[in-house]
Structure 1
Amino acid sequence: MSDDRVRLRDLLRGVASTLPDFAITQRGLWNLIRFKPDTPLSIGLRYEQLAASTPAQIALRFEDRAWTYAELNAWANRIAHTLAARGVTRGQAVALLFENRAEALACALAVVKLGAIAAMLNPQQRGEVLAHSIGLVDARAIVVGEECRAALESTAHHPQAGSALPFWWDGEGEPPAGYRPLRGEAALAPADNPPQTAQIRLREPCFYIFTSGTTGLPKASRMTHYRWMRSLAGVGQLAVRMHRDDVLYCPLPLYHNNALTVSWSAVLSAGATLALGRKFSASRFWDEIRRYDATAFCYIGELCRYLLNQPARPDDREHRVRLVIGNGLRAELWDRFQQRFGIGRICEFYGASEANLAFVNGFGLARTAGFCPMPFAIVEFDAAHELPRRGADGHLVRVAKGGVGLLITEITERAPFDGYTDKKASEAKLLRDVFKRGDCWFNSGDLVRGQGWGHIQFVDRVGDTFRWKGENVATTEVEGALNHFPGVTEAVVYGVQLPDCDGRAGMAALTLDTAFDGAALARHLSERLPAYAVPLFVRLRRAQETTATFKFRKVELKQQGYDPAQIDEPLYVLRDRARGYEPFDAAAYAEIRRGALRF
């Protein structure tokens, strides 16, 4: 049977599998049709509707506590009235600095109920980076959890530094000098719904979500109520299809859209329960799942790898999880993860904080980032110059069926681009005159493979793909081959510059749980990769550095390259494929620099 027929067969089976949830998908389709940017609707209004219709339903669980929809709505209302009494109004930003806990979600809900914007700061940031993030959003006030005081006070944005901003303290006991007691003042505020909530329209911003800063200082992307509610309909109702008795466990940080938008909107699409984890722990993950009796959880791809790297346990399948939702689950891990832990349905999605469209695997197909019904295209990409390729007519060129190229999505009234707070950064993400004069498309910055029937598979980030020996090397594919080698627990691949060479040579930073066998690794990679894609250098690391959302940090690795003077970890080079990877030292580095050693 041809690949096309197999995909069509699997797609039809996937469509048939949605029939038991037909009523849910019907609501999702209707909501996608009726939600328009000027519709008077918002996150806060959706919450108020649930609090009125199912007041006793558990909305949130955190550690040993639980809140019903009525209780959490009233809690958020008291905070909203408190902030409003001190001058917070519609359209203003309130910066929230918390680790994961229930108070962070209550404050975020309170802010958006006022028509204000919750700027979700990253508590892992310090000093210049955190100060930069705060400065991007022109905050009207800052609410800080007691656990984040040191982070805030590493910047100039705190009371002792003489900042004129109002600072709110969420913690036990009396707040430090210069901070207002949020808990104390909110306890005295009314619990009724703020009148501002009913006036908000979908096009208005609700959150500022910050990029991770893996390639520079963070940018603040705008999230509107429109995009959030479209996630509720398109991801939550059409793809995830949760029921009221479901419990979704979320150990990801609330300043990340996987938690705040995808997970929370999926829960609110059904009036289900969100079980919030303080932080992700691979060793305690399944104990937490059982503790909350979760039926679903959200993930990022590396989270799945960490779970697979844990020793197998007899109770790996002793849970009630029937579906998971997330992004970045690599093809080489998909089947192993699903089979080991007995996961019924994987709702992989593709999207970004600033993107105007999303793809979601709503039909339970294996190894796909999903489907999108809105206009998108996959176009040819010049990796050497990191630009989409234009044809003789000046327009972009679509790749052939099944080919890999740059994903772009058309910007329309129904799929707007909300951009960043920085207008220059926003404009840099746009492509104009793409297929006809005057059109405008969003540049995703990602290379994908078209799978047919509106589905795509993620291949690589544009900045990660490099060119060597006249060929494009996708780091994710090389990492996939490395991760199949016994003993490799984590692999990070990137390109490094060699003297007098076009393009970049491959280098892999590996963490191992066994001794390194350079000859065996070279044989393994040569059997699975084209010659140009086999890394020339290997660096062994005790641990990989990641962002708070488990993305590998490659900036420092690329800067250090293969220079032994900058690296205090073992280095290896592939001089001869028959001998495999051999130790690399300062003498060999000098040979490369003077041109005596070439590849």
Structure 2
Amino acid sequence: MLVSWLAGLGAGLLGLHVVQKLLFPYFWDDFWFLLKVVRYGVRMEVYKRRGELVTVLDKFLSQAARQPHKPFIIYEGDVHTYRDVDRRSNRVARVFLSQASLKPGDTVALLMTNEPDFVHVWFGLAKLGCVVAFLNSNIRAHCLLHCIRTCEPTALVVGADLLGTLEEILPSLPKDISIWGMKDSVPQGVISLQEKLSMSSDEPVPRSYHVATSLKSTCLYIFTSGTTGLPKAAVISQLQALKGSSGLWAFGCTADDIVYITLPLYHSSGSLLGIGGCVELGATCVLKKKFSASQFWNDCKKYNVTVFQYIGELCRYLCRQPKREGEKEHRVRLAVGNGIRSDVWREFLDRFGHIKMCEFYGATEGNICFMNHTGKIGSVGRTNFFYKLFFPFDLVKYDFQKDEPMRNEQERCSPVKKGEPGLLISRVNTKNPFFGYAGSYRHTKSKLLFDVFKKGDVYFNTGDLMVQDEENFLYFWDRTGDTFRWKGENVATTEVADVIGMLDFIQETNVYGVAVSGYEGKAGMASIILKPQKSLDLEKVYEQVVTSLPAYACPRFLRIQEKMETTGTFKLQKFQLVEEGFNPLKISDPLYFMDNLKKSYVPLTKELYDQVMLGEIKL
């Protein structure tokens, strides 16, 4: 009797397992991942109820006390232990406390490339309770000035390799900002932080300087292109920093992992997910000054890397490298990042071995993220009933001609059906707040949608179009508005248009992104109208964009038009231009291509076009 009963139970369980695999193939993947998310949320709630507001800095100090001799940062062969970073950041805090009289809540701007001192200065200032503004190290001139003025810093710290960039704008900086350089010999008007550090104490400053009174308090400004032109300073709260630093843990990384970071630390991926993620785990990171496709795998083998961070372009560059023997002989098991195309994903796995690609989606300032915990190729993540309870979002119909969400007769938005592209919007509430941007509220308001499904509701507009399939996997489809992505960076079209518009022979400029075969994102293209009786100077256009814009923002193509179409709200029409692309056989307007060897734009012939499309000319 017992035997038959056990046999029946076994058969029943087997049947249930088969049904689950057929009807709910991702049930257990979703269950364990959701359980992990809930567990993290419960842990934070317990801290809160105890009155212990633990921040990323607090977690670093805990790691430094628990494992002082463990390597935290490996940079160009040099090892910086948790204790080393703690002590040097103490020196930074001591210098600014005594020399600059900084106090909790003051903002300090940081203009540095990837190096250990980026982390030392960041953590040192955090120990004083300061808000640190990460400046994009690629920007210059008026754009850099704009960013500095936006965050209204008390002080500005500049890396040794960027002091030349600083000299261009030094006379235009506000007089009340103290400027510090990470070099012994600095320009006039700049204080040598390097010199001060050599004489400073490494004794810790009192914890009272940085104790958090609320997880919603601001700890960072991270600049993002947004959709209104010049970069905006996204407000990063202690809570957002904590959530960002949990990403590696959520994907299954551990304290034993060695994480390779080649992404810039001024981006949230490099700083919060990367550095913050290693702090959360107590892991080691290998920090690279700049990504190098030729050195990548050598570095991974040399330092026994087990996890690396990526953007889609990075993986494509690696796949384009000449094949070598032993490409699968490494210890990398996970890659965490976003923006990898499905074909590159497959090629990458075929060539470099079984590496779990942990794709995720999330905007720096956004209140929604997705994580592809199953490894489904092409997807940015999954959703289900329970996920939407914690993180409410919708995909709504979008009007591509008007460049705005569709509204029905009742002025409400409508969700799209599964399989259809829709604008991703996320509900703003106390559990999922949107902290917005520094400065004018209009920047924050521009990212919000009001009265979406009912009167009084508020949603964050991601500006991204997504598709949800029948299995509830989510896929990135495209970007909307005045921003497109190229070389892993967001390019604000209005910023580029403003730079080109400074030329005295330009009447109007419309900038947009066009798809190019074999490339992630979209390459920049500018449609231009000349002023009456003025002629086009291609060398001047080239000089203007190269000297005023980061390399990734320079338009690769120009189109000369006699008039431009506008929308009903008088916005420049981009939809048709994007659709037409840059094919000289389909476009009668004059087209030009950016030639870096000739330092000019040159006519885009059919031969040049074919070379670009075949990948014979690199963009």
TM-score range, shorter chain: 0.7 to 0.9
**Unpaired segments ≥5 residues, structure 1:** 467-474, 484-488, 500-543, 574-579, 584-599
SS of residue in 1 equivalent to 2:137: coil
Distance 1:252 1:582 in 2: 30
1:74–1:192 contact (8 Å) kept in structure 2: yes
1:270 aligns with 2:281: yes
2:367–2:426 contact (8 Å) kept in structure 1: yes
Please point out which of 163, 186, 192 is paired with 1:149: 163
1:210–1:220 contact (8 Å) kept in structure 2: yes
Counterpart in the other structure of 2:81: 68
SS of residue in 2 equivalent to 1:260: helix
Query: Is 134-143 or 561-570 further displaced after alignment?
Result: 561-570
Distance 1:33 1:130 in 2: 39
Distance 1:478 1:182, change over 3 A: closer
Query: Is 282-291 or 560-569 further displaced after alignment?
Result: 560-569
SS of residue in 2 equivalent to 1:338: helix
Please point out which of 348, 354, 361 is paired with 2:365: 354
Counterpart in the other structure of 1:166: 178
2:514–2:524 contact (8 Å) kept in structure 1: no
1:301–1:330 contact (8 Å) kept in structure 2: yes
SS of residue in 2 equivalent to 1:267: helix
1:200 Cα deviation after fit: 4.8
Distance 1:253 1:442 in 2: 26
Query: Is 439-448 or 117-126 further displaced after alignment?
Result: 117-126
RMSD of the alignment, in Å? Answer: 3.7
Please point out which of 401, 404, 416 is paired with 1:384: 401
1:419 aligns with 2:431: no
Counterpart in the other structure of 2:109: 95
1:152 Cα deviation after fit: 0.9
Distance 1:230 1:35 in 2: 15
1:461 aligns with 2:479: yes
Counterpart in the other structure of 1:399: 416
Distance 1:81 1:428 in 2: 40
Distance 1:7 1:114, change over 3 A: farther
Q: What letter corresponds to residue 297 of structure 1 in structure 2?
A: F
Q: What letter corresponds to residue 279 of structure 2 in structure 1?
A: L
1:39–1:201 contact (8 Å) kept in structure 2: no
Distance 1:84 1:465 in 2: 40
Please point out which of 23, 30, 43 is paired with 2:42: 30
**Unpaired segments ≥5 residues, structure 2:** 1-18, 485-511, 530-544, 562-581, 594-601, 613-619
Counterpart in the other structure of 1:297: 308
Distance 1:26 1:154, change over 3 A: same
1:147 Cα deviation after fit: 0.9
1:581 Cα deviation after fit: 8.0
Counterpart in the other structure of 1:538: none
Q: What letter corresponds to residue 264 of structure 1 in structure 2?
A: I
1:128 aligns with 2:153: no
1:81–1:194 contact (8 Å) kept in structure 2: no
1:245 Cα deviation after fit: 1.4
Distance 2:559 2:277 in 1: 38
Please point out which of 146, 153, 158 is paired with 1:139: 153
Distance 1:558 1:300 in 2: 30
Counterpart in the other structure of 1:540: none
1:193 Cα deviation after fit: 4.6
1:214–1:555 contact (8 Å) kept in structure 2: no
Counterpart in the other structure of 2:6: none
Counterpart in the other structure of 2:462: 444
1:229 aligns with 2:242: yes
Per-residue CA distance 1:36-56 (angstroms, 9 max, x = gap) = 799622221111111112222
SS of residue in 2 equivalent to 1:84: helix
1:254 aligns with 2:268: no
1:379–1:388 contact (8 Å) kept in structure 2: yes
1:141–1:166 contact (8 Å) kept in structure 2: yes
Distance 1:564 1:582, change over 3 A: farther
Q: TM-score, normalising length from structure 1?
A: 0.76
Distance 2:483 2:238 in 1: 34
Counterpart in the other structure of 2:329: 318
Per-residue CA distance 1:92-118 (angstroms, 9 max, x = gap) = 110111111110111111122222111
Distance 1:80 1:452, change over 3 A: farther
Distance 2:218 2:191 in 1: 26
Distance 2:267 2:155 in 1: 21
SS of residue in 1 equivalent to 2:340: coil
Distance 1:311 1:120, change over 3 A: same
